[in-house]
Amino acid sequence: MAITIADVAAQAKVSKTTVSRVLNGKGELDESTAARVRAVIEELGYVPSARAVNLARGRTRVVAMLVPSLTWPWMGEVVQGAVDVLEAEEYGLLLFTANRGADSMRQFNAQVAAKSFDGLLAIEPEGTLDYIATLHSRGLPMVLIDDRDQIAGQIPTIGTTNHTGAGEAARHLISIGRTRPLMITGPARFGCTQQRRDGFAAVYAEAGHPISDDRVLLGDFKHACGVETIQRAIAAGVEFDAVFCHNDISAAGAMQALLEAGRRIPEDVAVVGFDDIPMAAQTHPPLTTVHQPMREMGEAAARTLLAHFEGSPLPNRPTIIPATFTVRDSTR
């Protein structure tokens, strides 16, 4: 039978509260009493519940992570970055998704109410920002990952250089003589869509090749969107020598449609994506893309939260990790 705290208390002739204080280093205790309790613990081989000890200390040593879905192509990199940091500091991770909508959020809220974790890392599921902001205002330590310009200064965020990364894509295309690009965007409601559109368009405008509205085509980050948008552009007789897609998945769809239409990549049309997910190196031809530092963003978010647990204030301005540019055969 497992040794319990009651067994230790009985043999040491103290209360369970005294044993708990010895285990947790809390309260003033006579040193001889504390030494007797520690001797009994060693003699009996008592191993306290880690969860019980942490709860007694007011900490669970668990961090929660809330994400929209694990099916997003780059999500695993973010989660792995956070896990690497947390495990190194002997913290656990509770992972929640919003796959089931309101039911998922009710389950998550129950864990918030039960104080099952010390802090939250979040890639905000759509429509939950007000709820997350409320949790923050009530004192739950948290760090958001990805673009959230609308809450800058309110909740700590980790982001990347969407505007600059898109500008780098534009400069690369201009350097290889491509002056008539199409741009396939992400959903208009996302901050990164605005940043990537503006960054790309600004560089072309500065080079004397402004991008007209009919060359900026609204997308949804999906493969089918890339296919169908290119098919419509070709059918409409739009002339273009480059395509910039706001993510790699839609870029892969665009490449498929171009090849099916007999367009050579990159001889006829150069293609650039955004994200640099593992698939980008496996397309035909391999995709030139803006590399998002997703793993580094997960690491930075976890480090920021753990530093707060140790007494550092949470930052009141976004932490930005620069994107980089990866050239492959789709523009070479």
Structural domains of the chain ordered from first start: 5-56 (1.10.260.40), 62-160+294-321 (3.40.50.2300), 162-292 (3.40.50.2300)
DSSP code at position 278: G
Please count the residues of the chain: 332
Lowest mean pLDDT among 93-97, 186-190, 260-264: 186-190
- Decide if pLDDT at 272 tops 60: yes
- Decide if pLDDT at 79 tops 70: yes
- Decide if pLDDT at 141 tops 70: yes
User: What would the mean pLDDT of 200-208 be, rounded to a whole number?
Assistant: 98
Whole-model pTM over 0.85: no
- Decide if pLDDT at 97 tops 80: yes
Which of 46-55, 106-115, 164-173 is the most confident on average?
Answer: 164-173
DSSP H or E run through 201? helix 191-206
- Decide if pLDDT at 152 tops 70: no
- Decide if pLDDT at 160 tops 80: yes
Q: Is the peptide bond before 293 cis (omega within 30 degrees of 0)?
A: no
DSSP code at position 49: -
Structure-block tokens of residue 63: 């961090």
Structure-block tokens of residue 21: 């204080």
Instruction: For residue 32, name the pLDDT band (cuts at 50, 70, 90).
Output: confident
| CB-based contact 7:46 (threshold 8 Å) | yes
Buried b (16+ CB within 10 A) or exposed e, 181-211: bbbbbbeeebebbbbbbebbbbbbeeeebeb
Phi, psi (deg, nearest 5) at residue 52: -65, -45
In whole angstroms, give the CA distance from residue 222 to residue 69. 15
pLDDT at res. 5: 85
Query: What are the strands of the beta sheet with 92-97, ordered from one edge?
Result: 92-97, 62-67, 119-122, 142-145, 157-160, 319-321
User: What would the mean pLDDT of 105-111 be, rounded to a whole number?
Assistant: 92
Instruction: For residue 264, name the pLDDT band (cuts at 50, 70, 90).
Output: very high
Instruction: For residue 2, name the pLDDT band (cuts at 50, 70, 90).
Output: confident
| CB-based contact 322:160 (threshold 8 Å) | yes
Residues 208-244: pLDDT tens digits? 999 999 999 999 999 999 999 999 999 999 999 999 9
Query: Residue 79 half-sphere exposure, CB side, CA atoms within 13 Å?
Result: 19
- Decide if pLDDT at 46 tops 90: no
In whole angstroms, give the CA distance from residue 182 to residue 192. 18
Q: How many CB atoms lie within 10 A of CB 106?
A: 10
